[in-house]
Chains A and B, each alone.
Chain A
Amino acid sequence: MERAVPLAVPLGQTEVFQALQRLHMTIFSQSVSPCGKFLAAGNNYGQIAIFSLASGLWVELVNSVLHFSLAHDGPVYSMVSTDRHLLSAGDGEVKAWLWAEMLKKGCKELWHRQPPYRTSLEVPEINALLLVPKENSLILAGGDCQLHTMDLETGTFTRVLRGHTDYIHCLALRERSPEVLSGGEDGAVRLWDLRTAKEVQTIEVYKHEECSRPHNGRWIGCLATDSDWMVCGGGPALTLWHLRSSTPTTVFPIRAPQKHVTFYQDLILSAGQGRCVNQWQLSGELKAQVPGSSPGLLSLSLNQQPAAPECKVLTAAGNSCRVDVFTNLGYRAFSLSF
């Protein structure tokens, strides 16, 4: 495994400490800028780094363009981008940044909000952010087992959706209805109707024999939906579901728990424990396994911004300080590093 960052031999106290920090860094979230040329990545120390994708395409091992220290007090678990802002969330609050300002040093957050929590003992984390463009609102979900909706214009929290019995890992949006899917530690995938603010459907994945894997647990770590279809994974096996009938149609044969899954053209891309990004046909066949540089992956990001077609890349990050960039889905082109 090649070293991502060319380190000088660490001699003094600060060099050793920085090397150790890098070794133990985990990148939880990524988000592409509206112009498509920059990638933001958030790690477990609360730092957000901005990488330049355009220049990175030609230079190996590009260091970050900008580096914020301590954008958050805790880890940055999830990030999304609107057409002008970057929204990042971690320990209990969501912060907004202007993309145009981010490229300059010393950028300050535009605003930060904390959803109304019930418990006060411990601040729950926010694991997933979801943008609902039709309503111009943001859905947050995480440690307090509820989904909160926040109106992006006014900043007020409009809805609270309760139903999960353990904390929520991931969210997905079904554009048509509009419906929101959420998957959590309790092993259930719940569908919520946003207009009525009620739970519409529940799928308890671990109860289905084809996909349950008790030794891994029942938690749902990742969700993706494509109108009638949903793919989810985590403790149970990665499975493709038909939503209306709530039946699992395909079980993908991979033992490692998957932490991120997404639909791409006619493929399903997934990543999780293990270094590879897996490409699946809808029939359940493994089309390709492309190894990355981190021992485990937590997030995948596809840059499909129309403004920058030359930067159309897949980026993967996880249990290391590196973001792998795949220009062609077949191989890893290069890595960006904190």
Chain B
Amino acid sequence: MSSESSKKRKPKVIRSDGAPAEGKRNRSDTEQAIEIEERRIQSCVHFMTLKKLNRLKGRDQTHEAKQKVDAYHLQLQNLLYEVMHLQKEITNASGVSSKHEEIDLVSLEEFYKEAPPDISKAEVTMGDPHQQTLARLDWELEQRKRLAEKYRECLSNKEKILKEIEVKKEYLSSLQPRLNSIMQASLPVQEYLFMPFDQAHKQYETARHLPPPLYVLFVQATAYGQACDKTLSVAIEGSVDEAKALFKPPEDSQDDESDSDAEEEQTTKRRRPTLGVQLDDKRKEMLKRHPLSVMLDLKCKDDSVLHLTFYYLMNLNIMTVKAKVTTATELITPISAGDLLSPDSVLSCLYPGDHGKKTPNPANQYQFDKVGILTLSDYVLELGHPYLWVQKLGGLHFPKEQPQQTVIADHSLSASHMETTMKLLKTRVQSRLALHKQFASLEHGIVPVTSDCQYLFPAKVVSRLVKWVTVAHEDYMELHFTKDIVDAGLAGDTNLYYMALIERGTAKLQAAVVLNPGYSSIPPVFQLCLNWKGEKTNSNDDNIRAMEGEVNVCYKELCGPWPSHQLLTNQLQRLCVLLDVYLETESHDDSVEGPKEFPQEKMCLRLFRGPSRMKPFKYNHPQGFFSHR
């Protein structure tokens, strides 16, 4: 437009240049100016009409074009929308899995193997996956039908069998009372044939109510008795009802607790006396025994019996034992033999160091502290002794290094200790009974030497045993000639102490004897004091020391035949012989007048030997002379 307007302007300017300018200037200037103005207005109007025309034409064109574009656009949109829709459908369609895909079909190889040919149709299905799938589905259906059939059959079978079982159960339950009546009827027959099955059965019934350690003991002892020692008898004593009553159901005990709480409130309103009584009750509660106990009877060859009763202390988890020895004939107890067979000490130190005065369970100490019990030894007389071997027979093991939470009764521990312990018990009883008899003789001044030990001594023994008495432990420690033994730790309070007096003429020999509970495997120990021409003991006379050595160190020669019950009496007899030798071989003092008090009657090769000038104490059999070791 502007270019057109500028074109229009140009000719106008040229024209104005072409016309002569001089004359007509005044008029032409204003005319020109008015013409220019008109033309300008016309041109403007022309411009405007031109614009208008242009616009009208253009609008139609753009309108048409726009419409076309819009139509195409709409078509495009539609198509795109359709495409999207179809795509969605496709994805939906592909997403949807039809039910047949959820079924676990058998693998292809199996399918072809198992399916009958009319279903598998191999030729068709191999190539076509759709057909293949169809075929497989067919086969699946077939199989399922068959299996459903089978299932129904099995169910019906099961019903039948259940019914049969019911019938048989009823039959069995009706059998039980009939069997019982048969057993009752057979009792007289059992007794007649000495086969007490019923009795054993009853015992096993009661055994079920035993606490675990006693049960272990019962089982192991019965087994040992059947296998190794037919004379061992095992029995259970006590009240089974009380044992059952220990396991009351919880509701009852709760009711009891609430009742007792109410009672306790009432009682605490009373004053002091009940505190001590309460402590006493607590102690009694702590030391309570299980109502059942196991009794073992060990029979020895000479018809003496050791009765052992084993108890279980429930709160302390230890076992104790009470012992009693009965003999075939009534024993007259000599005064010195009082402690030998007493129930308190007969089983002391069966194994070395096992004195049974302390509880073997270390956890008990804390329990004792709570109720003010100092030591179990105060209660041992009524409760029995808690020896370590008793715990082992009950399968209880209390290791010192790691205190265990709960100690459980162990059968293998009991089994491994049973035989040794039973043998030791028998040996102990027999040696004590032998000592019992010997003491009776010793108190009468006779040293009983059996015939098979006569060879150890010469035929003629002049020194005589005059006295044999028991001595208290404290008194033994006070004696001036026993210091060595006390210092060596051989005089503990579990030993028994005796004093023997051997005399010949004016010479008196005192012998203090330590009898270890482990006699006769542990020898008695002698300490001597001779009163003759002064007091001679091992500290001032080498020969007295040698005499002690002859009985203490060389005791093995004096043991005699196994089980060496003769050891003590042989030692005493040897002391008599030694005293004889000592007195007879004493060199005569020339300054003193008179003959020797003891003429030499023993045959000796030499009287003195060695730097210590020892006397000949060794007796040689059968030549009958004395020599030095």
Binding site for B on A (CB under 8 A): 1, 3, 7-13, 16-17, 19-24, 26, 28, 74-75, 77, 121-122, 125, 127, 143, 167, 169, 185, 214-215, 217, 219, 221, 259, 273, 295-296, 298, 319
Contact = CB atoms under 8 A, between A and B. Distances in A.
B168 interface: no
Contacts of B605: 121-122
B521 interface: yes
A122 B613 contact: no
A24 B545 contact: yes
Contacts, number: 96
A19 B491 CA distance: 12
A295 B539 contact: yes
Nearest 7 interchain pairs by C-beta: A11-B352, A24-B549, A214-B591, A295-B539, A12-B352, A11-B353, A20-B552
What is the interface residue range for chain B against chain A? 35 or more
B14 interface: no
B377 interface: no
Contacts of A295: 538-540
A20 B525 CA distance: 8
Contact of B610 (A1, A3, A127, A319): A127
6 contacts: A7-B489, A19-B488, A19-B489, A26-B545, A167-B609, A169-B611
B542 interface: yes
B284 interface: no
A215 B591 CA distance: 7
A121 B610 CA distance: 17
Interface string B460-501: 000000000000000000000001110111101000000000
A16 B523 contact: yes
Contacts of A9: 353, 489, 492
B6 interface: no
Interface in B526-556: 538-540, 542, 545, 548-549, 552-553
Interface of B: 352-353, 483-485, 487-490, 492, 516, 518, 521-523, 525, 538-540, 542, 545, 548-549, 552-553, 587, 589-592, 605-606, 608-613, 627, 629
B488 A273 contact: no
B545 A19 contact: no
B590 A214 contact: yes
Given A13-B518, A122-B627, A295-B539, A3 B488 contact: yes
Contacts of A22: 488
Given A13-B518, A16-B522, A295-B538, A219 B548 contact: no
Nearest to A296: B542
Contacts of B487: 1, 3
Contacts of B589: 214-215
B522 A13 contact: yes
A42 B492 CA distance: 32
A21 B523 CA distance: 13
A10 B488 contact: yes
Contacts of B611: 28, 77, 127, 169, 221, 259, 298
A221 B352 CA distance: 45
A9 B489 CA distance: 6
User: Which of A3, A75, A219 has the largest count of B CB atoms less than 10 A from its CB?
Assistant: A75
A58 to B, nearest CB: 26
Contacts of B612: 26, 28, 259, 298
Given A11-B353, A28-B611, A77-B611, A16 B490 contact: yes
Contacts of B518: 13
Contact of A21 (B485, B492, B553): B553
B548 A24 contact: yes
Contacts of B516: 16
